[in-house]
A and B are shown apart, each in its own frame.
Chain A
Amino acid sequence: MSETGIGASVKRREDLRFITGAGRYTDDIDQPGQAYAVFLRSPHARAAIGSIDASAALQVPGVLAVYTGQDLAADGIGDLPCGWMVKSKDGSDMIQPPHPPIAVERVNYVGEPYGLVVAETLQAARDGAEAVAVDFDALPAVVDPASAMQGDQLYAQAPNNRCYDWELGDQAATDAAFARADHVTSLDIVNNRLIPNAMEPRAATGCFDAASGDYTLYTTSQNPHLARLVMAAFVQVAPESKLRVVSPDVGGGFGSKIFVYAEETAVTWAAGKLRRPVKWRAERAESFLADAHGRDHVTKAELALAADGEMLGLRVSTIANMGAYLSTFASSVPTYLYGTLLAGQYKTPAVYVGVQAVFTNTSPVDAYRGAGRPEATYVVERLVETAARELKMDPTALRRRNFIQPADFPYETPVALVYDTGDYEASLNRALEHVDYAGFAARRDAAQARGKRRGIGFSCYIEACGLAPSQVALSLGAGVGLFESAEVRVNVTGSVTVITGAHSHGQGHETTFAQIVSERLGIPFDSVEVAHGDTSRGDYGLGTYGSRSLAVGGSAIVKASDKIIAKGKKIVAHAFETTDEQIDFTEGVFAERDSNRSMTFGEVAFAAYVPANFPLDELEPGLSEKAFYDPGNFTYPAGAHVCEVEVDAETGVLEIVKFVAVDDFGHVINPMIVAGQVHGGLCQGIGQALCEHGVYDASGQLVTGSFLDYCMPRADDVPSFVVDTTVTPCTHNPLGVKGCGEAGAIGATAAVMNAVTDALGVKELAMPARSEVVWRALSAA
């Protein structure tokens, strides 16, 4: 292994700009003559919009315009679409209520924009926004997802406020499994609503060039091409050919910056109206309301077992809160990213899941780190742990009893996936070594002596990522293909520019992708530059989410690199007057077989652009190749997470005293970066278990609308983590990689709550396990 090749913990090249303050985030980029937008946001969870009087606002010095939903609609601006059509079990399409970027007749959640004020300065825009007078006719709000189907009907199209009633699995076979079970474990689970809170608030600057009619949008997006597509094809701000979307340095996403939102749409449109750049940056208070939230499921789950612990069947019924509108990928999260994962790591032969998605007067809910898979893992792993306790079996033994074994792959689950490879016991065994499972009883006793209650919990998760085989996704209702693109441009002097359709907002692609190309092409790491995040540089791209960048985007880069090698062989063959089959390529050198003639990569690059006597009908000049890679299957990262907690019984305060994560991501390109991804995911998973919760009051006001009330994990809330990997290479992509971005958030939550319930000796406990919740559980016990 070289110091910069695949498998090396190369220090990140993007770091130098970030640690010196030279990063360029959207809000750092100003445009000459820019104006500032402030959005008018609904104070009501549900209301009819009466008259909007902007006259006073327009008198505020510096205010340029006040736009309402009517103005956008009159200009032909379309709805924000949901990109995944889910069908109900009766075959009907999901219900998609109209979703104008700026509300026209009604507002349906607190924070929904119903207008925007554009002014010379931010101060003037804020003053103007306060001067707008609106008549709202407040209506009763539907807030709680569990009772939403009995609430006031929010949309004429959606009886019972239901978006869809979806199912997966063999219901009859599952019922039969329950009928012959010796034991049934059941749980009522609320998967708490989370608010993503990437540290960089969303921002967008729309620009319009009157000379060309071209629009440029600078925005905090995880997928600029997708933003361009949606804004062109559906919202119809501008044709794709006239719209450039740039996502410069982006300060974290975690899903929340996948989606196409009202704000970037409106500022781009407004830039065209005003013929000057229009900039908007969310205040954190806006982020809390206007970024799509995550999770928010209410579930009843049952596991049927034989007396010896054999898992026979799993039955799950979930209500998923969509919020007030269907966000860009919202419909897919509680269905194809959730129901399909309910087999977990186990050979449970019969699984049936029903999901009813409901509308409420709350912020839209969409993918947040893990997206469906954390919810599935939580259901499965809480059930398995609880079943073990009820059957008085060791929880690791019950899992081993039911694991899909290495010899079983490829393994088709009863919920529509085919796992390609894995070794679940290997991960669990390694995790138990790290955590010293044998020593747990002694640690528990020692804690008891200190007045603390100690518990241990496990989570053996699986995820499907590397989204996604386009054929599969399209057949299931996706509105876009989910391949990825790459371009490898060899410059005349032999340096290489890689353009990827993936987007890096913390993942370190500029480093990892350069490692891949450097190794593949046998050229120095420093000769490879990676570019991303600008629709004018790359042809197309689907962006970064679903732990897909390496498995899909990296594979596209490999494919393009291999085309470079193939072309290089042709060039060399021509120079040596032989055939390209006679040319071997190793470590950056093209050599003729059975001869001592060779050309270096640099010489071939130069020859490609200085084509002295190319046979032009057979060999074009230049050395630049594009590739689109469409995966053959999902990838299936899996692992074992183990958590130990101690509880202060007097106060209910929990402390995570040990956390071990052993993950199988297939081959690892940069172990340092992979470990970092796991750490961050674990912290978010722990945050869900211990402190994070998006809470609405009964009237639909967001109670947790700032960091004063929404509890983000801080440095002193989490321990140092023990992370390790085991490897079963993915069988169907050229790098053998699976993806690591979401694993921590998928596995950790169940491990923590299994540990907490173990410590407390209770079956169920609501998340987040705040100190009062714990204290009450102890008081009741």
Chain B
Amino acid sequence: MYRFKYQKAASVAEAASLLDGAEDGVYLAGGMTLIPTLKARLASPTDVIDLGAIDGMADISVGDTVRIGALARHAEVAASAAVRGAIPALADLAGLIGDAHVRNRGTLGGSVANSDPAADYPAAVLALNAVVHTDRRTIAADDFFKGLFETALEPGEIVKSLAFQIPRRAGYAKFPNPASRYAIVGVMVADFGAEVRVGVTGAGACAFRSAELERALAGGLAAEALADVTIPYDGFNSDIHASAEYRGHLVAVMAQRAVAAAIG
């Protein structure tokens, strides 16, 4: 790691002001991506501003939506009875992220703000039509993910919480990378009655909604509805673990499994 100044912010406002005062500052949430990046000397911020001590940013509450603080750790979401009661698929997804130790440190906000193409949460953000609450505004899910490690967040903007819409039913299916355990493909299917939303992660530069799958499921969740669907894979990620074509195939299969999970 290069040298940097580490500071712990006590509030969102303090964090923003610390970043503002830094030459090249970066926020730290759980650190599951940032710290390995720093260790590899792939980033050289002058200041690391730790959000971890900010009070009240890890709360989970369920009302019209499932509202989860940005600092809620994956293990907390996975174990939350409230989340499981409202959107079991979201608890399931959180329990599939990384490994147990990563889930004990990694946070919802950190994951979403990073927009790693292979992260799990972005699929849920899109499928569950979440609203991203920041220190400046709210951002609709469909406007949030912009590209590879790129989001609608402005420099210095802090994700405070996400409000997930509660579907009638939902399911998540993940095809993990056998080496890293990130998602090669992850598909969340959410049935809102009037609308079925499908969020796909791992396949593209960032998470996206699949028009093909949503169209096929428009008539309601049924595994048969996906029997003939093919996913165009042009532009999908391709690496030694999975070609674009295979990822396209897996999106369809994971969608079927997500539907099966949703139906129960």
**Does A711 belong to the interface (CB within 8 Å)?**
yes
Per a CB cutoff under 8 Å, which of B179, B241, B242, B246 touches A712? B179
Q: Pick the residue among A130, A695, A776 that contacts B240 (CB under 8 A).
A: A695
Segment from A26-34, A222-230, A512-520, A702-710 that makes contact with B = A702-710
Whether A770 sits at the interface, judged by CB under 8 Å, is yes
A691–B178 contact, CB under 8 A? yes
* A660-697 interface with B by 8 A CB criterion: 691, 693, 695
Taken together as a complex, chains A and B put the C-alpha atoms of A770 and B178 apart, in Å, by: 9
20 chain-A/chain-B pairs, Cβ below 8 angstroms: A130-B41, A285-B40, A650-B253, A651-B250, A651-B253, A691-B178, A691-B179, A693-B240, A704-B240, A708-B177, A708-B179, A709-B179, A709-B180, A709-B241, A717-B178, A770-B178, A771-B242, A771-B246, A775-B246, A776-B246
Q: For B177, what are the chain A residues with a Cβ–Cβ distance below 8 Å?
A: 708
- In the assembled complex, A772 has its CB within 8 A of some CB on chain B: yes
Contact with A along B162-204 (1 / 0, CB 8 A): 0000000000000101111010000000000000000000000
Report how far A626 CA is from B93 CA in the complex, Å: 63
Q: Counting CB contacts under 8 A, is B243 at the interface?
A: yes
Measured CB to CB, the nearest residue on chain B to A779 is B249
Taking Cβ atoms with an 8 Å cutoff, the residues of B that contact A are 3, 40-41, 175, 177-180, 182, 239-243, 246, 249-250, 253
Give chain A residues whose Cβ lies under 8 Å from the Cβ of B241. 709, 770, 772
Which residues of chain B are near A651, meaning CB under 8 Å? 175, 250, 253
Contact with B along A705-742 (1 / 0, CB 8 A): 00111111000010000000000000000000000000
A691 to B239, CA, bound (A): 14
In Å, the complex CA distance between A775 and B178 comes to 15
In the complex, which residue of chain A has the Cβ closest to the Cβ of B99? A714
Q: Tell me whether A707 and B175 are in contact (CB under 8 A).
A: no
Interface residues of A in 748-773 (CB under 8 A from B): 770-772
Whether B246 pairs with A772 at a CB distance below 8 angstroms is: yes
Say whether chain A's binding surface is mostly helix, strand, loop, or mixed.
Answer: loop
| Chain A contacts with B in 600-628, Cβ cutoff 8 A | none
| A771 CA / B178 CA spacing, docked (Å) | 9
Question: Interface residue count for A (Cβ, 8 Å)?
Answer: 23
* CB contact under 8 A between A772 and B243, given known A650-B253, A651-B250: yes
A241 CA to B175 CA, complexed, in Å: 58
Contact partners of B41 in chain A: CB under 8 A = 126, 130
B178 touches A711 (CB 8 A): yes
Specify which of B178, B241, B253 lies most central, judged by the most chain A CB atoms within 10 Å of its CB.
B178
B240 & A709 in contact (Cβ 8 Å cutoff):
yes
Give me the interface of A with B, judged by CB distance under 8 Å.
123, 126, 130, 285, 650-651, 691, 693, 695, 703-704, 707-712, 717, 770-772, 775-776
* Residues of chain A lying within 8 A (CB to CB) of residue B249: 775
Residues in chain A near residue B3, CB distance under 8 A: 123
CB proximity of B108 to chain A, nearest CB, Å: 22
Shortest CB distance B256–A (Å): 8
The 9 A-B residue pairs with the shortest CB-CB distance, nearest first, are A711-B179, A708-B180, A772-B246, A711-B178, A650-B253, A691-B178, A709-B179, A695-B240, A772-B242
Inter-chain CA distance A130–B240, complex, in Å, is: 30
Q: Say how far A429's CB is from chain B's closest CB, in angstroms.
A: 35
Q: Return chain A residues, CB-CB under 8 Å to B178.
A: 691, 711, 717, 770-771
Which of B182, B239, B249 lies at the interface centre, i.e. has the most chain A CB atoms within 10 A of its CB?
B249
Q: How far is the CB of B103 from chain A (nearest CB, A)?
A: 15
What is the distance, in angstroms, from B255's C-beta to the closest C-beta of chain A?
Answer: 12
> Shortest beta-carbon distance, A766 to chain B, in Å?
13
**B179 cross-chain contacts in A, Cβ below 8 A:** 691, 707-712
Closest Cβ neighbor of B256 among chain A residues? A650
Name the CB-closest residue of A to B249: A775
**B43 → chain A, closest Cβ, in Å?**
14
What B residues does A704 contact at CB under 8 A?
A: 240
A651–B187 Cα distance when bound, in Å, is 14
- Chain B residues near A693 (CB, 8 Å)? 240
Q: CA of A449 to CA of B3 in the docked complex: distance in angstroms?
A: 59
Given contacts A707-B180, A708-B177, A708-B179, 12 further A-B contacts (CB under 8 A): A651-B250, A651-B253, A691-B179, A695-B240, A707-B179, A708-B180, A709-B239, A709-B241, A717-B178, A770-B241, A771-B178, A776-B246
Query: How many angstroms from the CA of A710 to the CA of B3 in the assembled complex?
Result: 30
Query: Across the interface, do A703 and B175 meet the contact criterion of CB distance under 8 Å?
Result: no
Chain A residue nearest in CB terms to B2: A127
Name the residue among A285, A650, A704 with the largest chain B CB count within 10 angstroms: A650
Point out the residues of chain B lying under 8 angstroms from A709, CB to CB. Answer: 179-180, 239-241
The answer to whether A703 and B180 touch (CB under 8 A), given A651-B250, A775-B249, is no
Chain A minimum-CB-distance residue to B243? A772
Residues of A within 8 A of B246 (CB): 771-772, 775-776
Which residue of chain B is the closest to A651 with respect to CB atoms?
Answer: B253
Q: What residue of chain A has the Cβ atom nearest to residue B182's Cβ?
A: A708
| Residue from B41, B179, B182, B243 whose CB has the most chain A CB atoms within 10 Å | B179
> In the complex, A24 Cα to B15 Cα: how many Å?
42
In the complex, which residues of chain B have a beta carbon less than 8 angstroms from the beta carbon of A130?
A: 41
Q: Which residue of B lies closest to A768 (CB)?
A: B178
